[in-house]
């Protein structure tokens, strides 16, 4: 059997298994006494194999499962850590098979690392987007809370009302705070933990204002209105800074993607042009130096366009 057929089969099997894991719901973990013995499970051989593979990966990730689950929760991804790891493994196999089909056998190993790196970047990007969305919604959130307090609601009732009326991720974060307070946790520590999860300095100020008001008394609605006004002004300055630095950030993205784009174009148009880089020790050394310089340049460009105020 030729290498092309093996690679094509690996690609097809990997895509099918990945689609199965994504499409199927997670298996319900019911106690044995609640199961119905006379009803067929209905799982096929492929689904059972995928479930067995994810269970094995889950045992392998036992030490890091909590950290991965925490990051997935911050990203708003309703997926088990072992399911994500299984999809990453399948993606790595597919990328390796596709690379071998294109004749880049020596590049298969470094290319396999693209899937884990892509998964990490995807999760971090979703976390950053959720935190940015939370910060953008904070002004309206505090105004809704102030309106609910003026209507005569308690602090917990105001939080519950805002959680129902807000958009994600504010809705889920405040709903979590409400659920924690209903089981006996003080509201201020619950809000402080939410601010830490979202890494929102503005929300930290709002929580501190709530804590001080609960100690010294006064109108909490007026306090929240004042905090909301300050946050609104800071948001305007932040958006102006983002607009002024947009050109620099776009230039940084283009410069970081340019080497990969040129390499991909040469691999597709003239693979022999890059042969000296993968057929000699000097070529591998130059590739390593280029990767190191690219990483250093990426961090440098990030610091240049990252403006703190």
pLDDT digits (tens, 9 = 90+) for 119-177: 999 999 999 999 999 999 999 999 999 999 999 999 999 999 999 999 999 999 999 99
- Residue 30 lies inside a defined structural domain of this protein: no
Q: What is the sign, positive or negative, of the torsion defined by CA atoms of 170, 80, 109, 261? A: negative
More confident residue, 236 or 38: 236
Farthest CA pair distance, the chain: 80
Overall pTM surpassing 0.75 (yes/no):
no
pLDDT digits (tens, 9 = 90+) for 250-281: 888 888 889 888 888 888 888 788 888 777 88
Q: Residue 3: its pLDDT value, please?
A: 47
Would you say residue 28 has pLDDT above 50? no
Domain end: 112, 141, 156, which one? 112
Would you say residue 237 has pLDDT above 60? yes
Q: Are residues 78 and 174 in the same domain?
A: no
Q: Residue 252: its pLDDT value, please?
A: 83
Q: Are residues 184 and 224 in the same domain?
A: yes
Domain end: 200, 217, 244, which one? 244
Q: Are residues 8 and 105 in the same domain?
A: yes
Q: Are residues 99 and 178 in the same domain?
A: no
Distance CA(224)–CA(306), nearest Å, equals 30
Count of the separate structural domains present in the chain: 3
Domain end: 64, 84, 112, which one? 112
Residue 184 structure tokens: 């006996």
DSSP, residue by residue, 19-84 = HHHHHSPPPP---GGGS-TTS-----HHHHHHHHHHHHHHHHTTTTHHHHHHHHHHHT----HHHH
- Residue 36 lies inside a defined structural domain of this protein: no
Q: Are residues 2 and 72 in the same domain?
A: yes
What CA dihedral angle connects 161, 163, 166 and 167, to 10 degrees? -160
More confident residue, 235 or 44: 235
Full residue range of the structural domain in which residue 59 is found: 1-22+43-112
């Amino acid at each position: 059997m030729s290498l092309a057929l093996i690679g094509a089969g690996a690609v097809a099997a990997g895509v099918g298994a990945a689609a199965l894991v994504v499409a199927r719901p997670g298996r319900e973990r019911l106690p044995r006494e609640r199961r119905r013995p006379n009803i067929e499970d209905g799982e096929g051989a492929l689904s059972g194999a995928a479930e067995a593979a994810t269970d094995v990966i889950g045992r392998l990730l036992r030490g890091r499962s909590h950290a991965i689950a925490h990051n997935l929760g911050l990203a708003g991804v309703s997926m088990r850590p072992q399911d994500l790891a299984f999809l990453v493994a399948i993606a790595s196999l597919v990328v390796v098979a596709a690379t071998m089909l294109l004749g880049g056998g020596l590049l298969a190993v470094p290319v396999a690392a693209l899937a884990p790196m892509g998964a990490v970047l995807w999760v971090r990007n979703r976390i950053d987007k959720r935190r940015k969305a939370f910060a953008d919604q904070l002004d309206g959130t505090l105004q809704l809370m102030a309106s609910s307090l003026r209507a005569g609601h308690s602090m917990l009732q105001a939080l519950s009302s805002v959680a129902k009326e807000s958009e994600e991720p504010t809705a889920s974060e405040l709903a979590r705070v409400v659920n924690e307070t209903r089981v006996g946790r003080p509201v201020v520590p619950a809000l402080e933990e939410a601010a830490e999860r979202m890494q929102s300095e503005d929300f930290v100020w709002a929580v501190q204002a709530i804590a001080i008001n609960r100690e010294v008394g006064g109108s909490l609605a007026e306090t929240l209105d004042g905090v909301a006004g300050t946050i609104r002004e800071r948001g305007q300055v932040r958006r102006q800074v983002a607009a002024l630095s947009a050109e620099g950030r776009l230039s940084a993205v283009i410069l970081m993607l340019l080497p990969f784009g040129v390499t991909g174009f040469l691999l597709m148009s003239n693979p022999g042009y890059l042969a000296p880089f993968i057929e000699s020790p000097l070529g591998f050394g130059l590739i390593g130096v280029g990767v190191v310089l690219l990483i250093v340049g990426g961090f440098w460009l990030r610091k240049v366009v990252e403006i703190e105020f």
